Amino acid sequence: MTPDGIRKFLGKDWTETEALIRSSLGSDIDLLNTTNEALLSNSGKQLRPLMSLLVARACSGGSTTEDSIRFAAASEMLHNATLLHDDVVDGSTERRGVPTVMSVLGGPAAVLIGDYWLVKSMENILASPTHSEEVTRIFSKTLSDLAEGEMLQLQKAACCDTDEEDYYRIIYSKTASLFEATGLSAAISVDAPSALVEAIRAYSVSLGTAFQIKDDILDYSGEPKIGKPTGVDLGEQKITLPLLGALRSVDGEEDAAIRRKVMQIHDHPQFKDEIRSFVFSHSGNEYASMRLDEYVEKAVDALKVLPDSKEKNYLVAIAEFTASRDR
């Protein structure tokens, strides 16, 4: 399974979605157009709109509607809006192997461009003649989740007392919630029955959770091919699942000592390597990988109520790809 293979399979549905994204972002401001074009040319896996179109077709016997295209485009634009904002919050200078908008144009410009993508996303949802109110509520909840998740993460980074319950709440809010909105809006776009809508909700939340766990494992991997620096979370005093898994194997005194090092990492950057070594030596990535596999299995199980189809097979493949990807 590759994103390119899914794009080819989706055919006209994909080309219409991509065209809608581009046309939605058009402006007579040259700087905005140039920046948007640069972002679109380095758009990553585009997993959310691909998933959105597959869900719509899997729930409808292979067809889509104009709303399916609108909502798929909206999910990608909202996702990129959040990345532009996240780069400012996190002070990130690189994403997908290239400089961020923030590092090139500055934080204010990145926020404004992120706002532009966000508004254009919502305009596509509001263009729906039949589902705009319901889907607007879904995406509005996601925006609220994103803000709350970011604030909870900042709060926890200040005291480094994150536990697994906190961690799962943060990654639901920051990642899985948008996957949930993507899947639900796609199912709604084809008037899927409630049983399929709930199955897609379960699939999407589990997939989004697995996706973020994998990102957190990759942050400890040290592999240069992932396209972004490693150790970013530690540098921002974020305690994620690999470290939480490693901490399970030590007593309270050592747990507290490691957490103190995370709190002091800005003044003692050498602690980053010490903590990463601790995670490796105490099987933190292995623990996180076990939880990752559990969520992938939950995602696949949720799809069992869908009728058999190539689209369903691709949705299964996306879940399995989440566990095996290396970037």
pLDDT digits (tens, 9 = 90+) for 100-117: 999 999 999 999 999 999
Instruction: Write down the pLDDT at residue 52.
Output: 98
Region 233-252 average pLDDT: 94
Task: Please give the biggest Cα pair distance in the chain.
Answer: 61
Residue the block writes with tokens 């292979």: 62
- Domain map (residue ranges) of the chain: 3-324
Question: Looking at domain 3-324, which of 3.40.50.510, 3.40.50.10470, 1.10.8.60, 1.10.600.10 is its CATH number?
Answer: 1.10.600.10
Dihedral sign, Cα of residue 181, residue 186, residue 192, residue 195: negative
Q: Is the pLDDT of residue 62 over 60?
A: yes
For the chain, percent of residues with pLDDT exceeding 70: 97
Q: What is the mean pLDDT of residues 27-32?
A: 94
Burial bucket for residue 226 (CB in 10 Å: 0-12, 13-18, 19+): middle
Q: Say whether pLDDT at 45 is over 90.
A: no
Least confident range from 252-256, 312-316, 320-324: namely: 320-324
| Least-confidence region, from 1-10, 125-134, 203-212 | 1-10
* Six-digit token string for 186: 């796609």
Residue 1 banded pLDDT, cuts 50, 70, 90: low
Q: Phi and psi at residue 98, in whole multiples of 5°?
A: -130, 160
> Using 50, 70 and 90 to split pLDDT, how confident is the model at 32?
very high
pLDDT for 320 equals: 94
Q: How far apart are CA 136 and CA 123, in angstroms?
A: 10
Q: Provide the mean pLDDT of the chain.
A: 93
Distance CA 52, CA 76 (A): 10
SS3 label, residue 95: strand
Residue 228, pLDDT above cutoff 60: no
Closest by alpha carbon to 300, among 215, 210, 184? 210
What predicted TM-score, i.e. pTM, was given to this entire model? 0.93
What is the mean predicted confidence (pLDDT) over 152-169?
96
Residues 204, 306: contact at Cβ < 8 Å? no
